[in-house]
Amino acid sequence: MAPRRPATIKDVAAAAGVGIATVSRVFSGTGSVGAATRERVLAAARELDYRPSALGRGLKLRRSGGIGLVVPDVTDPFCAELVAGVLACARTLGEHVIVDAAHGDPSREAEIVERLVEQRVDGVIAQPAGTEADWRGAARVCSSVVFAGRALPGLPEIPAVLADDAGGVRSLTEYLAGLGHRRIGFLGEAPRSPSRVREGAFRDTLAQLGVPVEEDLVVGARPAGDAAYAAAAGLLQRRDDVTAVLAAGHRLGEAAVLVARELDLRVPADVSIAMIDDVAWAELCDPPLTAVARPGRDIGYRACEMLLREPARRGRGGPVLLPTELVVRGSCGPLRPARR
């Protein structure tokens, strides 16, 4: 039944008794075609199971009609939301999305971008893992790049859509301080991170509130399981007088929760815990965790829009910051006397 070889535009043209140019016009929607002819072409195409080849079109048009999306890890809830947002937007614009995960490895990331360029994607959206040098090169060779969810401060010319992390940390810090907490442990970005926005916002907010920052309470950690756990355990064991912990990411928050449980600390009676990233388990935790929700989906959607719809406006006026939302649940309580 089905032909060995997929039908081409020529087959359709022959079957409908028209020229290939006419068939092309029918399918690409450009130009004008008589109603009767169009019908004949469509009938022939249906008969032959014809599907226009995106390869032929792409070659001619010098673009594939797809975009590339590079994230650290598709199983991370935030990344997954971001991917979903990009897919949603791409869908409305009729583009497909080539997704790949770099797993924090800059060389792998570079390799992925290289492949995307070979695919002649119309643009690339990335939550970058690599350094500025890596992306400076990539940006030169890519048609266009938009950062999403994370940006490289040294590359202001590359447009970016980000969560307002600083605002999120600020509102969380103010919330904890408002509950009376003064010795707040902060689990933040790794020390050699390119930009420690969250840590900065934490320090600034405390300063504004007139709360002295104790260096001992600010620890950085890679969000990997072990490192995060070690950082949280270190903090809570070293300083048994902290009354609240602010985790700057769900992996760190997870670590904090597990460590607190391990140390038999009651939440929030002994220690309040809050984190950035309102992932699914925050609500299911007991007590449910207060968190700052980052609009991952919106970020992805917006980045895609920026990439495809507004090539003109790109990169002007710094990164687009999307608001976060403080979701108050039961994991933070008013200050009580220090434990022990």
Partner DNA sequence: CCCTCCCTTGGAAACGTTTCCATGAGGTTT
Partner DNA sequence: AAACCTCATGGAAACGTTTCCAAGGGAGGG
Q: If residue 244 lies in a helix (H) or strand (E), which one and from where to where? A: strand 244-247
Give yes or no for residue 264 binding a second copy (CB under 8 A): no
Q: Which does 10 bind (CB under 5 to 8 A by kind): DNA, a second copy, none?
A: DNA
State the minimum distance, in angstroms, from the CB of residue 67 to DNA: 19
Give yes or no for residue 59 binding DNA (CB under 7 A): yes
Give yes or no for residue 62 binding DNA (CB under 7 A): yes
Question: Which residue among 25, 181, 203, 297 contacts DNA (CB under 7 A)?
Answer: 25
Q: For residue 155, with 0-12 CB atoms within 10 Å meaning exposed, 13-18 middle and 19 or more buried, which class applies?
A: buried
* Comparison of 139 and 172: residue with beta carbon closer to a second copy: 139
Cα distance between residue 274 and residue 290, in whole Å: 5
- Tokens describing residue 197: 């926005």
Give yes or no for residue 45 binding DNA (CB under 7 A): no
Q: If residue 186 lies in a helix (H) or strand (E), which one and from where to where? A: strand 184-188
State the minimum distance, in angstroms, from the CB of residue 329 to a second copy: 12
Give yes or no for residue 17 binding DNA (CB under 7 A): yes
- Tokens describing residue 193: 């991170």
**What is the Cβ-side half-sphere exposure of residue 68, based on CA atoms within 13 angstroms?**
32
Give yes or no for residue 3 binding DNA (CB under 7 A): no
Strand order in the sheet with 290-293: 218-220, 184-188, 244-247, 272-276, 290-293, 325-327
Cα distance between residue 209 and residue 200, in whole Å: 14
Q: Note the residues at the interface with a second copy (CB under 8 A).
A: 1-2, 49, 51-56, 58-59, 62, 64, 66, 73-75, 77, 80-81, 83-84, 87, 91, 96-101, 114-120, 140-141, 254, 257-258, 261, 279-281, 284-286
Q: Note the residues at the interface with DNA (CB under 7 A).
A: 5-6, 8-10, 17-22, 24-25, 27-28, 30-34, 36-38, 50-53, 55-57, 59-62
